[in-house]
Amino acid sequence: MLGRKAWTLCFISFLTGCSITPKPASLDDRYAEARKDIAAIFDNQEKMGTRLDFYEAMARGFKHNLDYRIKLANNALQMGQLKLAEFAMFPALNATGSLYTRNNDLSSSSVTSSGQISGISNSTPRTLLSERVEISWNVLDFGLNYVKAQQQADRQLAARTEAHRQMQQLAQDVLTAYWEAYSAQELILHTNEFQKTLNEAAQQMELAIRDKTIPQENILHYREALLNGERHLLQLKFKYDKAMYDLKHLLSLPLEARFRLEPPPSALFKTPDLKNLNFRKLDAITLVNRPELEGQHYQEQIAKLGVRAAILQALPGLTVNEGWNYNSNKFLLNAWWIDRSANIAWNLINLASLPTSIHSAEDQVAYERMKKMAMTLGILTETRYAFSHYQSLRSEYVVAKKQTENANAIFTLEKNRQRASLTSNQQVLMAEIQYLTAQMDRDLLMSDLSKSSGELYLSAGFDLLPKSVTDEPLDDIIKKVKKSIALRNQMDLNDYVEITYHRLFGEDLQSPWKNHTPGLAALPDPWHTGLPVPLSDGTKYYS
């Protein structure tokens, strides 16, 4: 009785010891893990100098941006899943073995018809070793796994297009952040002078308030100019800080890194008039180049394969087996033998639910097709919006330049009149503030104009670089960025459209480049889409 209680107590203690209690991570553990992650982000990066140009910024973004690398990792993950899906189509090869022993003989006695025991015999030794190697192939599973492998192949292609899209967006984000940071950096160089001017103006205003001979209206206008200048200065400082933090984040640089930005390439300062842009060709290029449409095409293919999978699941399964066997029982006449079997199994519930399964799969196809239609219209709308935004900003920039020139002329005039004692210091300071403010507006507008140009290229699906540059050395990526920017400096978007349309669809060029075929053939083509495109002669060209 005492022993039973002891065993019961031991059993309860064992169960209690096996219980799992949730243990949240401590603050120290979480902080140490976060520090380790931060160190891992910056450990393998190339050394950063005190000056950063646009080419290096773009190259560092392609090589080190974490969001982009996540997309690349997902692409590699989907490729691995595809290889596993291919293995799932093979027949199953199973190998089993067992070792069995007992402490006495497995004996049996024979009994006569009269009920007497005639003798005792052994038909099995105390220790047995058995082995079996079997090939099993379920034809239905093979069909289902084949369809699933095709779906996984499309998922891998969709993941590749997501990485491609992320690369395009990354290029535009780096361009945006670099322009904003550079523009603010150059303007901030004048902030000390600007702040000094504002302080002098504030002092002049205090004197003007005490001077009863100055009309109140003039003082209020003076104060408005000061407040407007102060507000622009605060906006500029915030814009600079935000753009620099955005740039460091995109390039995966330490947030405390300090460096000066070099001027952007001259190609980014170009503001061509695109009012004669050929939208028929641009739309055709956009529908082929945009990775989102390509990715949605793969999603629709996956849904269509889901209809086949629904039909296959309702069919009977045929399993074919063949096994090679061995048994160490010395009493057997045949210790080695081969067996074969064929089994049919049919899940009638799957058959009964087949109409519902097909209907659900077809609804999924319709859903993916509707998404692609909506995406197509949305993408074409994006292109129109980007074009309209660019043209509007271009016109606004022309006006801003004239405003700056006019503000400079007023400032110069007021200074000359001050020398002739024909105007007050307040009028000169107001003119100077308006001139500096106009300069800020013009330079920031130039930044916005360059960004809108990049958005227009992005909306059409143009790539700044070939897709596979991430694993190359940083210096090689910088060279490719320079080459691509130099090409962009030679042509505007109209030429891009003509050349790309010619490459994709084989139509004759309608631009000045058509008379320079050798040079055209030598131009790099950074816009590989990998999609079969019908040419005018009926063949297919893989861009």
Rounded distance, CA 78 to CA 82, Å? 6
pLDDT digits (tens, 9 = 90+) for 232-243: 778 878 888 888
CATH of the domain at 285: 1.20.1600.10
Nearest of 348, 321, 308, 339 to residue 138 by alpha carbon: 321
Rounded to an integer, what is the distance from CA 272 to the centroid of its chain?
Answer: 30
Domain-located, residue 117: no
Environment class of 109 (CB within 10 Å of its CB; exposed 0-12, middle 13-18, buried 19+): exposed
Environment class of 475 (CB within 10 Å of its CB; exposed 0-12, middle 13-18, buried 19+): exposed
pLDDT over threshold 70, residue 538: no
Backbone angles phi, psi at 341, to 5 degrees: -155, 155
Read off the pLDDT band of 286 (50, 70, 90). very high
DSSP letter string, 354-387: HHHHHHHHHHHHHHHHHHHHHHHHHHHHHHHHHH
Domain carrying residue 539 = 496-543
Please give the average per-residue pLDDT across 456-470, as a whole number.
78
pTM (2 d.p.): 0.79
CA distances 46 to 43, 49, 214, 246, Å, are 9, 10, 62, 19
Beta bridge partners of 137: 320
Same domain, 204 and 293: yes
Beta bridge partners of 540: 534
- Among 202-211, 238-247, 351-360, which is the least confidently predicted range? 202-211
Domain boundary residue, one of 480, 504, 520: 480
Domain-located, residue 144: no
Domain-located, residue 331: no
Structure tokens at 429: 């300071």
Same domain, 502 and 402: no
Environment class of 201 (CB within 10 Å of its CB; exposed 0-12, middle 13-18, buried 19+): buried
Same domain, 209 and 281: yes
Rounded distance, CA 433 to CA 225, Å? 7
Domain-located, residue 470: yes
Domain-located, residue 137: no
Read off the pLDDT band of 531 (50, 70, 90). very low
Domain boundary residue, one of 456, 480, 504: 480
Compute the chain's Rg from CA coordinates: 38
pLDDT digits (tens, 9 = 90+) for 213-233: 566 676 677 777 777 777 877
Same domain, 453 and 363: yes
Same domain, 391 and 514: no
Same domain, 399 and 534: no
For residue 105, the model assigns a pLDDT of 82
Same domain, 476 and 515: no
Environment class of 536 (CB within 10 Å of its CB; exposed 0-12, middle 13-18, buried 19+): exposed
Nearest of 357, 354, 362, 355 to residue 303 by alpha carbon: 362
For residue 224, the model assigns a pLDDT of 77
Same domain, 540 and 432: no
User: 3-state DSSP call for residue 85?
Assistant: helix
Beta bridge partners of 122: 107
The count of domains in the chain is 2
Backbone angles phi, psi at 135, to 5 degrees: -105, 125
Beta bridge partners of 107: 122
Same domain, 269 and 298: yes
For residue 5, the model assigns a pLDDT of 67
Backbone angles phi, psi at 261, to 5 degrees: -95, 135
Read off the pLDDT band of 342 (50, 70, 90). very high
Same domain, 231 and 299: yes
Rounded distance, CA 481 to CA 487, Å? 10
Same domain, 272 and 380: yes
Please give the average per-residue pLDDT across 481-499, as a whole number.
83
Q: What is the mean pLDDT of the chain?
A: 83
Rounded distance, CA 226 to CA 316, Å? 84
pLDDT over threshold 80, residue 408: yes
Half-sphere exposure of residue 351: CA atoms within 13 angstroms, side-chain side: 7
For residue 145, the model assigns a pLDDT of 93
Domain-located, residue 7: no
For the chain, the first-to-last Cα distance in angstroms comes to 85
Backbone angles phi, psi at 365, to 5 degrees: -65, -45
CA distances 512 to 83, 199, 495, 498, Å, are 48, 55, 8, 10
CA distances 129 to 70, 135, 328, 331, 340, Å, are 51, 21, 5, 13, 21
Read off the pLDDT band of 528 (50, 70, 90). very low
Determine what percent of the chain falls in helix, strand and coil, rounding each to the nearest 5. 65, 10, 20
For residue 40, the model assigns a pLDDT of 86
Domain-located, residue 521: yes
For residue 541, the model assigns a pLDDT of 35
Nearest of 313, 318, 309, 347 to residue 137 by alpha carbon: 318
Amino acid letter, 4: R
SS3 readout for 33-50: HHHHHHHHHHHCCCCCCC
For residue 462, the model assigns a pLDDT of 85
Domain-located, residue 119: no
Same domain, 518 and 414: no
